[in-house]
Amino acid sequence: MAMTDAQDSALLHIALVQPEIPQNAGNVARTCAVLGAHLHLVHPLGFRLDDRHLRRAGVDYWDLVSWTEHDDWPSFAVAWPAERVWLVTTRGGARYDEVRFQPGDCLVFGSESRGLPLALVERYPGRGLRIPMRPGARSLNLSNSVAVVAFEAYRQWGFPGLV
């Protein structure tokens, strides 16, 4: 699906690639609503969009969320030049706070059980980010990871439009 002008104007885009847990996607939608970020859901999804858990996690924020569905990664990737994509993965080379985000960037997160496919991470060399954590810890919850990195981008920009 092509992006509209309204989507292009978002300061930040967040893509969930094959998310599996509706509550996580709902919480990410809530974060997007609070920030004014645009949410991209890349199929296949592990839930239906009318799932009650998805709606409950987003509470009353769904009307504030700008979002787009994409059939698969190739249909999503058509709209995104490599230099605008940041892949958040445990295999990322740089810490998320070591890069300078630009308005219009897209943060990409993988599924809860598998993360982003290695082939996808390798397709975007130098665009992988990681969140530091203790040795032996596998990863943060998806919605927490999105919030950590998205708020860092907004912090770098001086929290525009937020009070």
Over residues 67-103, the pLDDT tens digits come to 999 999 999 999 888 899 999 999 999 999 999 999 9
pTM of this prediction? Answer: 0.90
Name the average pLDDT for the chain: 89
> Residue 112: how many CB atoms within 10 A of its CB?
18
Stretch 128-146: mean pLDDT, rounded? Answer: 93
Q: Burial, 76: exposed, middle or buried (Cβ in 10 Å; 0-12, 13-18, 19+)?
A: buried
Share of the chain above pLDDT 90, in %: 72
* Domains detected in the chain: 9-156 (3.40.1280.10)
**Bridge-partner residues for 115, per DSSP?**
111
What's the confidence (pLDDT) of residue 77?
93
For residue 74, what is the enclosing H or E element? helix 73-77
- Nearest Cα neighbor of 27 from 49, 62, 68, 58 is 58
